[in-house]
Structure 1
Amino acid sequence: MPHPETVGVRAGIARTEFFETSEALFLNSGYTYATAEDAERAFNGDVERFVYSRYGNPTVAMLEDRLRALQPGAAACTATASGMGAVYTALRAVLRPGDHLVAARSLFGSCYVICEEILPAWGVEVTFVDGRDLDEWADAITSRTRAVFFETPSNPMQHLVDVGAVAALAHAVGAHVVVDHGFLPIGMQHCFDLGADIVVHSATKTADGQGRVMGGAILTATDALMVDTIQPLIKHTGPTLAPFNAWVIGKGLETLALRSRACAQSAHTIAATLRTHPQVSWVRYPHDPSHPQYDLAQRQMTAGGTVITFELASQTTEAKTAAFGFMNALQLIDISNNFGDAKSLIAHPATTTHRAIGADGRAAIGLTDGVLRLSVGLEHTHDLTDDLERALANTTR
C-alpha cells in the first residue's frame, strides 16, 4: 500500500479529456441525458453515472476516494457538508425510535447536544458512560443497544476510549461502533483495524488545514453499510458537500501527512514544556508520558495529534479571569474556537465550544474554567513556546 504522502497526492484522481494536472472542479448541480430512455436507465440504477449533485458529483467523488484511501480499513466514504453533519447523519442512519445508544460522556459540545437532546426527541434512549471505564461500558451495553458512540481522543479533555475493547462489547450484542475521529488528523489512528464500523471526520479541521471551508466525511467498514443504510438518508435529506469545498479539501489532503506530522512533533515538544511550567497544573497530550492513558495512546495512536489541553495552576484570581488574561496576553497565537489550522489557535472551551453542555456537564468531564485548548500550527516551535511562556509570565498567580 502506498504511503500516506503518496495517497494524499495521487488517490482519487479522475482526469477529464483535457488531462489537467490539478483536479477538475465541477460546479454543476445537474447532468444531461442524450435521451429520455437514458435518464430512466440512470434513475433505475441500470447504468452507473452522475444524475444530481445531491446524490453525487465528480469533484466530491474524487475527494471521497482520497479520504477512503487515507483511512486504512475503510470500504466506502461519503462526504458531508460539515463534521457535525457527518456525526448526526451516521447516528440517525443506524438508530430508530425505541433503540438504545451508549455514548461516552466526554464529547464535543454539539455532539453532546445531539445525544442529550436531539436523539431522545426522536425516541432514542441514550445512556452516558465514562468512556475510559470499560466496566461502565459493559454495564450500559445491553441486548437493546443498537450503537455506541465516542470520540477518542475526546474534545477537549483528551480522554481515550479503548476502541478494540468497546467494539468487542458492542459487537457481542449486534451494535454498531461509531467513532468520531475529528480531534485527530486522518491516519493517526486506525479505528477500522480496531473494530469500528463507522468513522466520522470533520474535514473542516486538518484535512483542509487552512481554515477555508467546511466539510465532513462518513467512512464505513463495509460497502453494504454505506449503500443500504447511510447513503439513502444522505440522498433524501441533503447534507451533501459542495463541489467547491470538496475541491479545496482535496487540495488540502495533498499536504495533510506533512502538515500533521510537523504540527504533532511541535505539539509533543510544547506539551512537555508546559507540563513543567509552574503556572500550569496539568497537561493532556496523548503521547506525553504524563497522560493517564499513555499506554493506550501508544497502542492505538500512531502520533499524539496536534492539540494540547492544559489547565492553569490555582490562581489568586478567578479561574476564568486568569484564563482570559493569559489568552489576551498572547501575541502570536490566535484566539479561536476552531482547531486543525496551519495557524496556532487557542480556545476557552467552557465559554465557547462546550458552553452548551452546562456547568454540570462540564464538571462531569473535568472541564473547569481554567482549562484551555491549544491547536498547534505550523509556526516554529520556539516561537510558539516563547509566546506561551511570555503570556504565562503575565498571568496573575
Structure 2
Amino acid sequence: MKIETLAVHAGHRIDPATAAVTPAIYLSTTFERQADGSYPQGYHYIRDNNPNRQALEQCLYQLEGGVAAAAFSSGSAATMSIFQSLQAGSHVIAPLDAYSGTASVLKEIFVPWNLSVTFVDMTNPTAVEQALEPNTRLIWVETPSNPMLKITDIGKITDIAHQANALCVCDNTWATPMGQNPFKCGADLVVHSTTKYLGGHSDVMGGVVITKVENDLFKTLRKIQTIGGAVASPFDSWLVLRGIQTLPYRMRGHSENALKVATFLSEHPKVEAVHYPGLPTHSGYEIAKQQMHVFGGMLSFQVKGGREKAFDVAAKVKLFTRATSLGGVESLIEHRASIEGVGTKTPNNLLRVSVGLEHPDDLIEDLAQALN
C-alpha cells in the first residue's frame, strides 16, 4: 500500500457505536473491569493503553514499515526511553552534529547513570568504527542532522553496529517516513518527535519509538513507557493522527519550497554557505539521492558578516517567524547557536530555517529584502 493511502487509513476505523468517520477522543483515564476480572476491550488504565494512542501507534509503525510503536508525550521522552533500556555500563556512539537535546540527555542524565558516550562525525564510517568499544551497545544516527544537515549513510552505519552486536537507532524526525525509510537501510529502531512534521501544525507535542522486530528490547521500552507514564495523551494522539493524513502532500510542498529557497540563497552574494541535501553542491548529495525520496523542508545558511549580521537578517524578515521548532505550515527562522547555548559547535553566523507552505516566491522575496 502506498504511503498516501496509509497516511489516510492506517490507525483509522469507522466507529462501531456511531458509524462516525472521524475517530472520537477517549478521555477516560480508567476502564470498567468485568465481573470475572477481565478487560475484554483490552483497556485497563490510561497509562497502560488508550484507544487514541493505540490508533496512533498502529498508524506510525505502518508508515515506517515496522511491527510496533510506542507513543510518548514528547520526542525527548521517546529518546530517553531508548537510553533507559540499556544496561548500566553500556557505551553509546552519537553524532557530533545532532539535536542539542539528545546530546544533553546523554551528557547530563545518562553519563552520571553510568552510560558512556563517544561523539563522532557520523558521516565518516571509519571514525565510527574507531569509536567502537567492547561494550558498545547502540549507535545513534540523525540524518539529516540538526542544524548542519549532514547526511549519514544509514546502511553503512547499521552494518558497523551489527558487526559489533550493537543496535542502530535512527532519528527520522526531519526526513519523515515520506522522506526516507531507515528500516529498509537496516536500522533497528526509528524515533520521531511527532511534534514536528507528523503533527504538522505547531499545536501538539509528542514522540514515538518504532521497532522493526517486537523483541525483548521493545518489551523493555513498553515497560518504561507504562511504568514511567510519559505517554501521549488522548487528545495529542488524536491531533497527530489527524496531521499525518496530509503528511505526504505537506512534505512534497515543504521539500519543493525548501529547494527553491536553498537555490536562491546559494546564489546570493551575502550568503557564505547553504546547507541543504537537495543541492548538488552538498557534500552528502549523492547519499541523500540514494536513501531519500524527498529532501525535506529544513535548511540552514551562514550569513557573511558573522553573528551580528545573522541577527540582523533574522530581525528584518516579515513572513518568517523567529521561533524554535519546525515542521509546521508556517516558515520559521532562528539563530541556532543562541538556542543551543554554551558549548555549541554551531557557527555563530548560521540561521536555521523551517520552510513552510507559503508560496516560495514570497519567502524568497522576504529573505532577499532581509539580506539586502
Q: What TM-score does the superposition give when structure 1 sets the normalisation length?
A: 0.91
Contact 2:122 2:128 in 1 (8 A): yes
- Within a 5 Å distance, the mapping from 1:169-184 to structure 2 comes to 169-184=160-175
Gaps of 5+ in 1: none
Partner of 2:76: 84
Question: For 2:352, which of 373, 376, 380 is the aligned residue?
Answer: 373
Contact 1:151 1:161 in 2 (8 A): yes
Partner of 2:23: 23
Q: Letter of the 1:385 partner, please give it.
A: I
Contact 2:211 2:218 in 1 (8 A): no
* Alpha-carbon distance in 2 for matches of 1:307, 1:343: 12
Partner of 2:199: 208
Q: What TM-score does the superposition give when structure 2 sets the normalisation length?
A: 0.97
- Within a 5 Å distance, the mapping from 1:9-158 to structure 2 comes to 9-14=8-13, 15-35=15-35, 37-39=36-38, 42=39, 49-72=42-65, 74-93=66-85, 95-158=86-149
* Alpha-carbon distance in 2 for matches of 1:331, 1:321: 18
* Alpha-carbon distance in 2 for matches of 1:48, 1:221: 26
Note the C-alpha offset of 1:175. Answer: 0.7
* Alpha-carbon distance in 1 for matches of 2:327, 2:359: 16
The alignment partner of 1:234 has SS state of: helix
Quote the sequence identity (%): 31
Gaps of 5+ in 2: none
* Alpha-carbon distance in 1 for matches of 2:360, 2:229: 42
Q: Go from structure 1 to structure 2 and tell me whether the alpha carbon gap of 1:225 and 1:378 turns closer, same or farther (over 3 Å shift).
A: farther
Partner of 1:347: 334
Contact 1:12 1:62 in 2 (8 A): yes
Partner of 1:8: 7
* Alpha-carbon distance in 2 for matches of 1:373, 1:6: 32
Partner of 1:167: 158
Partner of 2:276: 285
Contact 1:99 1:145 in 2 (8 A): yes
* Alpha-carbon distance in 2 for matches of 1:182, 1:118: 22
Partner of 1:265: 256
Residues 1:389 and 2:368 are matched in the alignment: yes
Question: For 1:198, which of 184, 189, 200 is the aligned residue?
Answer: 189
* Alpha-carbon distance in 2 for matches of 1:228, 1:334: 41
* Alpha-carbon distance in 1 for matches of 2:207, 2:277: 24
Q: Deviations over 1:323-372 (max 9, x none)?
A: 111111001111111110100000111001x22xx33x41xxxx211001
Q: Deviations over 1:173-210 (max 9, x none)?
A: 21111111122223211101111111100110011111
* Alpha-carbon distance in 2 for matches of 1:306, 1:90: 27
Contact 1:347 1:373 in 2 (8 A): yes
* Alpha-carbon distance in 1 for matches of 2:277, 2:360: 18
Contact 2:278 2:285 in 1 (8 A): yes
Q: Deviations over 1:215-255 (max 9, x none)?
A: 11110111125642210111111110000001111110111
